[in-house]
């Protein structure tokens, strides 16, 4: 028997909804819970049976709703929830398992949690907004919308050397600052507290942009105060991981200042980062060093990919190869669970995405010392293409020649494989009652249709098994206390 839901408030109807009657919600979706089918903001655990929404458990608290995203391994640590709720209510900080996660430190209400769920990239992801696509937009099933794909690098040898791969994103940031197209660049650089982490940073000069060059393969929360940034009313460019871009695009659906003030959206094509526990293990086992003893950790740059380097408070320094850290192929990578099921590591919602170009996806230690670095640059929007062309004309970027999606398949094979498999993984997670983000405009159904029945079952069953053995979960976040 269906129960009425007198406690229900702030439910948002979408194309799945068929209306409200006597406190009941009727939807056309076949299975799952309401949030999985686009109806957000409910304050209890709901499920669907024969197209009807049924409350099977009592209402949950706002804090439980937030922590469910974390516990199900879907939090990306972007920091947007802190900005939405305020730092007195939610603090995104290092927690006991090593990640940066939201911790409720004040009174979180359901209305605020509704807003958080609607912008959180652990709950919702969207590709490039349709209004940013035009007659010149080409569409690839795997790599999404684009207006051009080309091989390019920073013209300045120092920028190319210090930047990741070809230094294109660094050079574009410098161009935007020097030409006053933006007031600042919002991005991340090495944390001043934990050297293997990144921290939110604003660059107001070309020199500052260069100082923040290089990939950060650790937790970083660039959006912890983005609403305060928007309050200043200054035009800026944002450089972040694809999931950070998704969070900001989600926010733009509710706050018109985002599209007004964020003039350029730039991202690296992202394979994920090293889980903090594995970083700690790597440093202890190989170098007998604790993370807290570090004053510097360079993941990439100073070559392609360049030597990794760390320094400690007592003056010790070590350099080692990128492949000593990651291994020589993707099977050796250790990643957060959320990265393994990411439906958009390729930055579909950005103006420009810049990719590595190593055949097979990893550098060759025998030749990397001679690699000067070249990016594959995906200009997805007119703004992105115009920026690339203007930076080339001004001498900040050198564009060599065009490339295409099948070339990207060769140099980013892990992205192609994950994109094809991600919906099967999502459906396996959902079958176990796990939180799964709603994906809009990412062609996941069409991509799933290309899988054989055998491949689909392997991905589906694998995701279910990860939930069952605890590999898809995190503990309730508790602030880490320095020992």
pLDDT at 33: 38
Burial of 16 (0-12, 13-18, 19+ CB in 10 A): middle
pLDDT at 9: 35
pLDDT at 221: 97
Q: What's the whole-model pTM score? A: 0.88
The structure tokens listed for 287 are 């170098």
pLDDT at 366: 86
pLDDT at 243: 97
- CA dist 112 and 86 (Å) reads 10
Q: Are 112 and 104 spatial neighbours (Cβ–Cβ below 8 Å)? A: no
pLDDT band for position 5 (cuts 50, 70, 90): very low
Q: Are 11 and 41 spatial neighbours (Cβ–Cβ below 8 Å)? A: yes
pLDDT at 58: 52
pLDDT at 38: 42
Tell me the residue length of the chain. 483
Rounded average pLDDT over 440-463: 97
For 273-288, how does the pLDDT look when each residue is reduced to its tens digit (9 = 90+)? Answer: 999 999 999 999 999 9
pLDDT at 105: 97
pLDDT at 57: 54
pLDDT band for position 333 (cuts 50, 70, 90): confident
pLDDT band for position 55 (cuts 50, 70, 90): very low
Angle (CA) 319-325-331 rounded to 5° is 160
The structure tokens listed for 436 are 């799964």
Asked if residue 264 has pLDDT above 60, the reply is yes
Higher pLDDT, 334 or 379: 379
| 218 alpha-carbon distance from chain centroid | 12
pLDDT at 326: 84
3-state helix, strand, coil in the chain (%, to 5): 35, 20, 45
Rounded average pLDDT over 138-142: 98
pLDDT at 215: 86
Asked if residue 80 has pLDDT above 50, the reply is yes
Judging by DSSP bridges, how do beta strands 317-320 and 308-312 pair with one another?
antiparallel
Rounded average pLDDT over 383-409: 98
Percent above pLDDT 70 for the chain: 87
- CA dist 17 and 34 (Å) reads 10
pLDDT at 482: 67
Angle (CA) 114-119-124 rounded to 5° is 105
Does residue 214 come out as left (phi exceeding 0), alpha (psi in the -120 to 50 range) or beta?
left
Burial of 416 (0-12, 13-18, 19+ CB in 10 A): buried
pLDDT at 327: 79
For 401-446, how does the pLDDT look when each residue is reduced to its tens digit (9 = 90+)? Answer: 999 999 999 999 999 999 999 999 999 999 999 999 999 999 999 9
Asked if residue 71 has pLDDT above 90, the reply is yes
* Cα-based distances in Å from 199 to 155, 245, 334, 362: 27, 16, 22, 26
The structure tokens listed for 217 are 């393969």
162 φ, ψ to 5°?
-80, -25
Rounded average pLDDT over 447-464: 97
* Cα-based distances in Å from 18 to 22, 24, 28, 97, 427: 13, 11, 7, 42, 24
Please list, residue by residue across 257-278, b when 16 or more beta carbons sit within 10 angstroms of its beta carbon and e when fewer do: ebbebbbbbbbbbbbbbbbbee
Higher pLDDT, 175 or 41: 175
pLDDT at 7: 30
Asked if residue 61 has pLDDT above 80, the reply is yes
* Least confident span in 95-109, 356-370, 378-392: 356-370
Rounded average pLDDT over 175-188: 98
Those residues with Cβ within 8 angstroms of residue 289's Cβ, 6 or more apart along the chain or in another chain: 283, 310, 312, 316
- CA dist 118 and 427 (Å) reads 21
- For tokens 């929360």, name the residue: 221
Asked if residue 40 has pLDDT above 90, the reply is no
């Amino acid at each position: 028997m269906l129960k009425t839901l007198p406690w229900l408030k702030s439910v948002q109807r979408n194309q799945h909804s068929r209306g409200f009657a006597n406190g009941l919600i009727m939807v056309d979706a076949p299975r799952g819970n309401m949030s999985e089918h686009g109806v957000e903001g409910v304050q209890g655990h709901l499920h669907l049976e024969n197209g009807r929404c049924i409350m099977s458990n009592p209402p949950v608290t706002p804090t439980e709703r937030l922590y469910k995203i974390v516990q199900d391994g879907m939090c990306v640590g972007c920091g947007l929830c802190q900005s939405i709720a305020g730092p007195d209510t939610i603090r995104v900080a290092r927690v006991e398992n090593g990640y940066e996660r939201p911790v409720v430190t004040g009174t979180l209400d359901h209305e605020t949690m509704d807003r958080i769920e609607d912008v959180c990239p652990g709950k919702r992801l969207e590709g490039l907004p349709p209004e940013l696509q035009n007659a010149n937009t080409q569409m690839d099933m795997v790599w999404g919308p684009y207006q051009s794909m080309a091989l390019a690098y920073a013209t300045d040898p120092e920028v190319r050397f210090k930047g990741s791969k070809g230094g294109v994103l660094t050079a574009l940031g410098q161009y935007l600052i020097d030409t006053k197209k933006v007031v600042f660049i919002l991005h991340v650089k090495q944390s001043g507290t934990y050297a293997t982490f990144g921290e939110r940073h604003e660059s107001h000069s070309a020199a500052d942009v260069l100082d923040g060059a290089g990939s950060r393969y650790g937790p970083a929360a660039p959006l912890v105060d983005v609403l305060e940034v928007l309050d200043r009313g200054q035009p800026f460019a944002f450089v972040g991981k694809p999931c950070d871009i998704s969070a900001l695009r989600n926010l733009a659906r509710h706050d018109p200042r985002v599209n007004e003030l964020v003039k350029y959206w730039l991202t690296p094509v992202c394979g994920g980062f090293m889980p903090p526990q594995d970083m700690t293990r790597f440093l202890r086992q190989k170098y007998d060093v604790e993370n807290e003893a570090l004053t510097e950790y360079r993941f990439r740059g100073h070559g392609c990919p360049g030597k990794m380097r760390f320094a400690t408070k007592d003056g010790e320094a070590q350099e080692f190869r990128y492949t000593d850290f990651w291994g020589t192929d993707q099977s050796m990578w250790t990643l957060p669970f959320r990265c393994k099921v990411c439906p958009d590591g390729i930055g579909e919602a950005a103006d420009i995405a810049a990719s590595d170009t190593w055949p097979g996806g990893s550098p060759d230690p025998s030749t990397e010392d001679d690699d000067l670095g070249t990016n594959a640059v995906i200009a997805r929007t007119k703004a992105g293409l115009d920026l690339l062309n203007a930076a080339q004309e001004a001498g900040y970027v050198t564009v060599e020649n065009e490339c295409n999606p099948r070339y990207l398949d060769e140099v980013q094979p892990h992205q192609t494989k994950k994109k094809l498999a991600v919906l099967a993984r999502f459906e396996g997670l959902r079958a176990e009652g796990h939180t799964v983000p709603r994906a809009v405009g990412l062609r996941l159904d069409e991509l799933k249709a290309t899988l054989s029945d055998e491949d689909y079952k392997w991905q589906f069953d694998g995701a279910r098994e990860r939930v069952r053995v605890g590999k898809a979960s995190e503990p309730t976040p508790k602030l880490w206390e320095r020992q």
